[in-house]
Chains A and B, each alone.
Chain A
Amino acid sequence: MELVTPNLGTIFWMVIIFGIVVFVLKKFAWKPILNALEEREETISNALNAADEARKEMADLKAGNEQLIAEARKEKEAILRDAMKLKDSIIAEAKEKASAEARKDIENARQQIQNEKAKAINEMKTQMAEISLMIAEKLIRKEMASDKQQQEMANKLLDEFKLN
């Protein structure tokens, strides 16, 4: 029976002690502990949110980067293509120019040669005429040393003319 009869003294002390325990713990233990807990939870959730955002930003950045890279690659290709075209055209132009120049040079050379040739021929012609005249003169002079011979010559020429 004593076991299930609450003892007044124990009740008295228990009320006082537990009252103090509740009061003191509330003020000096639960408050700081719970505050710290909440603060930490907030910090953690904030950090998680920040991490999430950072991850999203990262993904955005990555997508942007990829786009940028793709664009850059395209641009590079375009530039390369342009450069190639330019190169080809430059080469073609240069070739054309070179060939035109060469042609012009050749033409000039040919012209010059022609001119020189004509000049030479003309010169030769005059010289030959002179030489022929000289030879002819000499020949004639020699042939026409005597009158007889002159006669004969004249005849002969005449014959020749006749033959013509």
Chain B
Amino acid sequence: MLTFTKGLFLSLLMVVTWLNPVAGQSDDGHGSHPEGNSHAEEKFDAGKFVIEHVLDSYEWHIASVGEKHINIPLPIILFSKYPELHEGRKLHIFMSTKFHHGHEDYRGFRLSHSEEYNGKIVELDAHGHEIGRPLDLSITKVVAGIFVSVIVLFSLLFVAAKTAKRNRGKAPSGIQNLLEPVIVFIRDEIAIPSIGEKKYKKFLPILLSLFFFILLNNLLGLIPIFPFGANVSGNIAVTMVLALFTFAVTNIKGNKHYWKEIFNPDVPWWLKYPIPLMPIVELSGVLTKPFVLMIRLFANMLAGHMIVTVFISLIFIFGSLMGPAAGYGVSPVSMVFSVFILLLDVLVSFIQAYVFTLLSAIYFGMSTAESH
């Protein structure tokens, strides 16, 4: 019980420091760039604070204690477009600490603060001017967050698979017990009704993978303690790839009837000839479906993260506008609202994972439906 209370206190402390607005103010002011000086004043910028919390970054910021920032450095992997500027090498791998939070250039690369490439790594020419971005395959915070959730996902599911193998024909136990109702739900309430009794088996693995991957990323994104809390499912590149997988499976597994419905639907001939009106509409539908999937998940999860940070930053907005007393006065209200929104986000996490999976299943079902 004592260790639990201690752990709870520690995690609360972590939450508070994690949300420390000092982090939002960045560490500029004494950097090597002329742009850095504009951020020197000690004013709390709520917009910047909120956006920086949901944006990707090259290092994983854990907490700031006063002026000291605790960061987990992440590997940076770059393919230069101008190898002659970087000691003749194309591939560059180094840790993010080399930039010293953007205060220093390294090997002809810079963590940009310019209008165009803000926060991104750019290549520098011989005179120190930014000339464009290299091919940037760095393990950023979001990628690291994906790795973390994949590790969690694998350990959960492999344990479940092991018990499933051991408990053949017997009652489920442990994590298997936790996951099986969800798996059964996806099979019986999503896959079978949307795809049909005959073909659902082919699509079940991808649907389950999508659901658990999204759900886990959503939920882990709500935990503000390292190594969780990265805004993975609120990152548009992540949701885009998820939607692309649905898109690819839908169109690769699409049967003759599916393609006929797109290019030669059963509509009056003048809708298809001479202007292929319906095919154009149908084809755009093929593209909008994954697009909508991408936007929905991204926007929902991003909004959840943003609202929580906005409520927290309210404390500091009030604090900076009317003095520390107002900040302390507002903090309980902000906390209550944040907790409420977080709980709401737990619900949203499940709903979005469900909706994404359900719509994917419906698209799969549409692409494999027989003509009626």
B235: CB under 8 A from chain A? yes
Q: Which residues of B contact A40 (CB under 8 A)?
A: 169-172
Given contact pairs A3-B54, A10-B142, A30-B205, A25 touches B157 in the complex (Cβ within 8 A): yes
Question: In the bound complex, do residue B143 and residue A34 qualify as a contact, i.e. CB atoms below 8 Å apart?
Answer: no
The CA-CA distance from A14 to B240 in the complex, in Å, is: 9
Given contact pairs A14-B238, A17-B146, A2 touches B118 in the complex (Cβ within 8 A): yes
Question: In the bound complex, do residue B157 and residue A29 qualify as a contact, i.e. CB atoms below 8 Å apart?
Answer: yes
A134: CB under 8 A from chain B? no
Q: Which residues of B contact A21 (CB under 8 A)?
A: 150, 153-154, 209, 213
* Chain A facing B: main interface SS: helix
Question: In the bound complex, do residue B169 and residue A33 qualify as a contact, i.e. CB atoms below 8 Å apart?
Answer: no
The CA-CA distance from A10 to B144 in the complex, in Å, is: 10
Question: In the bound complex, do residue B137 and residue A13 qualify as a contact, i.e. CB atoms below 8 Å apart?
Answer: yes
B95: CB under 8 A from chain A? no
The CA-CA distance from A13 to B143 in the complex, in Å, is: 7
Number of interface residues of B (CB under 8 A): 55
| CB-CB nearest in chain B for A18 | B241
Q: Which residues of B contact A14 (CB under 8 A)?
A: 143, 146, 237-238, 241-242
Q: Which residues of B contact A10 (CB under 8 A)?
A: 56, 140, 142-143, 235, 237-238
The CA-CA distance from A3 to B118 in the complex, in Å, is: 12
What is the interface residue range for chain A against chain B? 35 or more
A146: CB under 8 A from chain B? no
* Cross-chain contact of B161 among A9, A12, A33 (Cβ < 8 A): A33
Return the CB mask of B199-212 against A: 1 if under 8 Å, else 0: 00000111011001
A128: CB under 8 A from chain B? no
The CA-CA distance from A32 to B206 in the complex, in Å, is: 15
7 shortest A-B CB distances, which residue pairs? Answer: A10-B237, A36-B164, A26-B205, A6-B237, A29-B157, A14-B241, A32-B161
Which B residues fall within an 8 A CB radius of A? 51, 54-56, 77, 118-119, 135-140, 142-143, 146-147, 150, 153-154, 157-158, 160-161, 164-165, 167-172, 176, 179-180, 183-184, 187, 204-206, 208-209, 212-213, 235-238, 240-242, 244-245, 302
Can you list 29 A-B contacts (CB < 8 A)? A3-B51, A6-B240, A7-B142, A8-B136, A9-B138, A11-B237, A11-B241, A12-B137, A13-B137, A14-B146, A14-B238, A21-B150, A22-B205, A22-B209, A25-B205, A25-B212, A28-B158, A28-B161, A29-B154, A29-B157, A29-B160, A29-B161, A32-B165, A33-B160, A33-B161, A33-B179, A33-B180, A36-B164, A43-B169
